[in-house]
Amino acid sequence: MAMNGSNKVVAAQQNDPNSFAASIKDAATAAFLVGVLGFFFIGVRTDIAPGGLDLKMRWGAWIVSILVVFAGRLLLNLFVFKTDSPITRKLAGSVPGNGRLSEVGKWFMRALFAFALILPFFFMSFFPGKDRQFIDLAILIMTYIMLGWGLNIVVGLAGLLDLGYVAFYAVGAYSFALLAQYLDIGFWFALPLAGILAACWGIVLGFPVLRLRGDYLAIVTLAFGEIIRVVLLNWYEFTNGPDGISGIPKPTFFGLELKRGEGGFADFFGIAYDPIQRFVFLYYIIFILALITNFVTMRLRRLPIGRAWEALREDEIACRSLGINTRNTKLTAFSIGAMFGGFAGSFFATRQGFISPESFTFLESAIILAIVVLGGLGSQVGVVIASIVMIGGIEMLRNLGFLQQIFGSGFDPVQYRMLIFGLAMVLIMVWKPRGLISTREPSVALKEKKRIGADMVAQGEGH
């Protein structure tokens, strides 16, 4: 008989799962469970009393928790779980979807671009005390955006997982540093050379990994990144080994150094010297470099080579059957990606004024790759957002002094930032497994451009 009864209940629920009665019943079950469990955890409290422990009943807290669970469960049942039109669907709709993203995204991008354009002056006028710190952070973020865009060509477009991207960053940085040290070459002349050298190294890496697929490709690129670092570390006579190279020249503004005194930038234009001028200048250099990276990448995507990269990511065998030389196509992806890494490295060297192999560890590769993956493979805007979130986020977590007021003065939020950051990453990847911007925009359209969902886009090798 009992079985009969339960069967009937099940049947009733199946007949009308949205019914109010079913919701009440479900909520009551949840409340009952809370009542049973909570009796010990909430309802009873032990206090230290003379001669031992004293049990103290907290009926109020127990009943409140039961009611909260009942009400909460009931509301969830009525509006989310047991209804045909859950409100979460409306929420999901408000998150930019395939169609709406283009509109929302476009304005967002424009706003972001406008802000990036005036960023130094924004901070100088609104945060005069902290402007140097903020602009420095913006430069860092911009460097990672550029690196992310460069790696996006290899990983996002061509679908070749590269765990050693930092090697090209190092090649760029050391190219400039060594050229400056040995040949006394300035930043602007060294910049293209660093890019070319990095591109050559991209080809050097590209050749052995051409035949590799999947995990093997990833491991070989990882090894390559480490080889470069170890060579830089151990070739003491040439690279100065772990001591690094210091005194790397600063960039000049059409021959004008940004320095105090005679012949400097400020002197030439007759304005007062301010150390912030150098930061602003550096910011605009990396901003323009990043813009060039983006421009070239976007152009390439619409050119046959870009489509071939994406086709390669989708299906290499089909590419070969269509007459695409996959070897050359992969090598161009590696070398162009490496070239932008080289530019960024060269900039890094001039900004720091000092470089050592310590700056080019595997962790850097991992962060750059995480930016690309978090942003969404192949998405340019995704890389920007992910860079801001990751690089800016880690820095921002340093400023969590207010948490000390909550957790007490012994709490140091800086120590927890990597933990918080890791959790945030996990949450984002659970929420958006294919990255923040997971849709792909077609490179060409006959009538209208419809964004393509991530479930259809292949991820390429090694993912």
Partner 1 sequence: MDAATNMKNSDQATPNWDKDPVLSVEHLTMRFGGLVAVGDLSFNVGRGDITALIGPNGAGKTTVFNCVTGFYKPTEGRIVMRHGPGRQQEDVETLTDSGQRWKATGNGAVYLLERMPDHEISHKAKVARTFQNIRLFGGMTVLENLLVAQHNPLMVASGFSIGGILGLPGFKQAQQEAIDKAVYWLERTHLIDRADDPAADLPYGAQRRLEIARAMCTGPQLLCLDEPAAGLNPRESAELNQLLKYIRDEHNVSVLLIEHDMGVVMEISDHVIVLDYGVKISDGAAEFVKNDPKVIAAYLGVDDEAEIDMPEVREDLAKVAGDEPAGKPSGKAAASGKASSSGKKKTASKARSSSAGASTGRAAAKSAVTKSPATESTAAKAAGTKAAAGKTGGTRSGSSKKTTPKASASAAASIAAKPSGKAVAPKTSTSRAKASKASTGAASSTDKSPARAASTGRKASAKPAAAKAAAKPGAAPAASEVKIANAGDYPGSQPHGTKKPRAGGANNLTRVKGIGPASEKKLNALGVWHFDQVAAWKKAEAQWVGSYLAFPGRIEREEWVKQAKVLARGGETAFSKRVDKGEVATSVAGKRGAQPKKKSAAKGGKA
Burial of 401 (0-12, 13-18, 19+ CB in 10 A): exposed
Residue 339 CB partners (closer than 8 Å, separation 6+): 150, 168, 195, 196, 198, 199, 202
- Pick from 231, 242, 192, 155: which is nearest to 347 by CA? 192
Min dist. Cβ of residue 329 to partner 1 (A): 9
- The residue from 18, 83, 133, 326 that contacts partner 1 (CB under 8 A) is 326
Is residue 372 within the footprint of partner 1 (CB under 8 A)? no
Task: With H, G, I as helix, E, B as strand and everything else as coil, classify residue 128.
Answer: coil
Is residue 405 within the footprint of partner 1 (CB under 8 A)? no
Q: Judged by CB under 8 A, which stretch of 98-106, 219-227, 300-308, 364-372 contacts partner 1?
A: 300-308
- Residue 366's CB is within 10 A of a number of other CB atoms, namely 14
- The site string for partner 1 over 142-181 (x = CB under 8 A, - otherwise) reads ----------------------------------------
Is residue 463 within the footprint of partner 1 (CB under 8 A)? no
Task: With H, G, I as helix, E, B as strand and everything else as coil, classify residue 44.
Answer: strand
Q: Judged by CB under 8 A, which stretch of 170-178, 208-216, 219-227, 323-331 contacts partner 1?
A: 323-331
- Locate 18 and state its tokens: 């949205």
Is residue 461 within the footprint of partner 1 (CB under 8 A)? no
Rounded Cα distance between 147 and 169, Å, is 8
Residues 328-357 binding partner 1 (CB under 8 A) are 332
Of 430 and 444, CB closest to partner 1: 444
Residue 85 CB partners (closer than 8 Å, separation 6+): none
Min dist. Cβ of residue 294 to partner 1 (A): 13
DSSP annotation string for 208-267: HHTT--HHHHHHHHHHHHHHHHHHHHH-HHHH-GGG-EE-PPPP-BTTBB--SSTTBHHH
Of 58 and 307, CB closest to partner 1: 307
CA 462 from centroid of its chain's CA atoms: 19
Of 315 and 412, CB closest to partner 1: 315
- The residue from 45, 260, 398, 449 that contacts partner 1 (CB under 8 A) is 449
Q: Judged by CB under 8 A, which stretch of 83-91, 95-103, 298-306, 407-415 contacts partner 1?
A: 298-306
Rounded Cα distance between 342 and 191, Å, is 8
Is residue 314 within the footprint of partner 1 (CB under 8 A)? yes
Rounded Cα distance between 306 and 320, Å, is 16
Of 88 and 325, CB closest to partner 1: 325
Of 156 and 164, CB closest to partner 1: 156
Of 31 and 153, CB closest to partner 1: 153
Is residue 288 within the footprint of partner 1 (CB under 8 A)? no
Residues of this chain that bind partner 1 (CB under 8 A): 296, 299-300, 302-305, 307-308, 310-311, 313-315, 317-326, 332, 440, 442-450, 452-453, 456-458
